[in-house]
Amino acid sequence: FFYQLKMAKAFDSKIQDSAVLKVVYPKNKYRDNKYCAIGICKIILDKSDSRNNEKCAFSQYTLSDCDTISALIYSDIKNKDSGNNWKYLCDGDFSKIHLFDSDYLKQWIDLKGCEYIHCPLCKTGITEEKEHIEEHDVDSMEQLKERRNESKKEN
């Protein structure tokens, strides 16, 4: 019971390190990264919270059926004296953050990393440079082969 009370207070103000279940740091710490760290924060909902009936986007289980549920968090400031300054990746209003099955969310942050993390529901965190892919209208397979050969010649 004391642990639940401590967790609830964390949502009212600052996310406590004790609530953080997993942390991932940028692969290239010298690059200009949007986030210094990403992680997942354990969430304990009150039994009367309507979000208990929502489904996890990954597992498709209702949140009340999951062993643990979590939210995506990030730190944009790393202070060696005070540690990470955690914030929710989704809307800062606790009642609006998206929640997921913790086991699946751990895999999601491993897959995306600091450089490409985003909320799979609201897409918060997506950066333009990550998704920037030059698009071509390819009319035929022959045209595609020609472009590939031209590209090889240039390189």
pLDDT at 72: 93
pLDDT at 80: 64
Closest CA to 105 of 24, 28, 47, 34: 24
pLDDT single digits (tens) 103-152 = 999 999 999 888 888 888 888 887 654 444 445 555 677 777 787 788 77
Answer left, alpha or beta for residue 17, where phi above 0 means left and psi between -120 and 50 means alpha.
alpha
> What token pair was written down for 29?
């710490």
